[in-house]
A and B are shown apart, each in its own frame.
Chain A
């Protein structure tokens, strides 16, 4: 049912780890499903010496509850603590109104490696749904826990879990009245294990993941002017790929990883170009004196969505690259920008100015089948929407008080969480693709 090699390939990410940051984002669910599925995740039994560096069951528990789709049973309410089938009394779990039960065991293999085995049960049917053994380095137990949560999520919802994915984002801290510190950071989806990819006294913008999850493209002003850089996550090696006069911005990797859409103004004003990464060939694909920016690839790589004010106000357009056929996509309201498409090609997440000329800039979702536009957020200064690879939520940046924070909302508006941070502003989130 599950390929163990998938988990092994998770280990690749971030052997290069220059700086661990102390400040950390935390997921706080502010709204979950009205009838979430109750699950009990029992602490995994550890048969080795000393304490493990991570509480695997707790991480699984947090992943499931933070998805907004599940409620989890507090450990204090558990009537027993089984670690395998022979110790499970289903009556105990029916009494606590748990529909599903997760138990597990961790055993030492060597000083640095452990084997894990977890089991998922349907309490009402008294049936086993899944039993899976896996191995992990002791210092990668958090990865193992996210992997287990992915499998359980998929078994119970039918949708692939995205707990093993990561986010990148930009933090900004004002140091003095004249100086700020900008950091490009990467963390687990839940804000844990943040690391600094780049630190600068000048702005950093628009991080974008390559489809294989191995590279980040971003804009940095570190030389005093904006340039586009590509950085390899495994080694930290990076290259400056575009540095024309004027704008160099909004990089977006094509789904096949061979091309980078970007915005340059070297020919006079903001236009969209497609760079062939292997040949270095640069092709201009828009030509208008208005602003053309924020290119975003359709999942099949055949068309680009972008923001243009060619019609008098910013709206979303779609350009088919082979035919150069262009269509306007949004009509409702006088400000629609930064669209990105869900992996199934049905919806666009975008920033929409709601209430006519009001000051609310909300995350909205446009159903391309029905042309229905749903406004998902009300705070008002939303930007940078990024869709989780399983389309469970749209993560975005907004303002809370005087702080820039990240928040998320599901496409149906039913699940919401925020990611408060301890200091500085957090902005420009980008959710990784699946990493295994």
Chain B
């Protein structure tokens, strides 16, 4: 478990660096990605708190597929890290598998800004998958901005659920 924990830390550091706008690929990123990619039997903390291995799709199906964001932010919250790692490991182990990441925003602010924000969110999730071993050719991103809210209504409760990235498998 120690090795896995190290991998996770490296991957997170790399992801944070990327999210913060570092466009060059640092050695930390490579180390993290390599570590994740070679660790095929890795396990991660599932959404329900149980340890799941990323080997079978039945296990992946139990993982969290919606990841939430703060207002005007595109930083993946820590609560989503372990599930995203598990998704990444499944993708790494199954090169034929592909995911679609849909980025969304709440209705506040302007539509075109929100669609760019939704794209940043989808890209942030995509980077976390990639530094954990998923290939860029396995990930498709699209942003809908505020055009497709999950919840109707105009309070913080609905807005929080609308600021999201939805991950879905387009091929197993």
Contact = CB atoms under 8 A, between A and B. Distances in A.
A289 to B, nearest CB: 4
A314 B109 contact: yes
Where chain B touches its partner, the secondary structure class is: mixed
Given A265-B116, A314-B72, A402-B154, A206 B111 contact: yes
Interface residues of B, number: 27
A335 B105 CA distance: 15
B79 interface: no
A426 B123 CA distance: 30
Contacts, number: 92
B116 A335 contact: no
Contacts of B153: 402
B85 interface: no
Interface in B130-172: 141-145, 147-148, 152-154, 156
Contacts of B123: 269
Contacts of A169: none
B113 A247 contact: no
Given A289-B21, A402-B154, A205 B111 contact: yes
Contact of A338 (B21, B72, B112, B115): B112
Given A205-B147, A294-B112, A335-B72, A381 B119 contact: no
A293 B112 contact: yes
Contact of A291 (B117, B144, B147, B148): B117
Contacts of B143: 247
B62 interface: no
A293 B152 contact: no
Given A203-B144, A291-B116, A313-B72, A337 B110 contact: yes
Contacts of B108: 359, 361, 381
Nearest to A288: B21
24 contacts: A203-B144, A205-B115, A226-B115, A226-B142, A246-B119, A249-B112, A249-B115, A263-B116, A269-B119, A291-B113, A293-B112, A294-B112, A294-B113, A307-B113, A338-B112, A351-B110, A361-B109, A383-B110, A384-B110, A384-B111, A402-B152, A402-B154, A427-B111, A428-B111
Given A293-B112, A307-B110, A361-B109, 5 more contacts: A263-B116, A269-B116, A291-B117, A338-B113, A359-B156
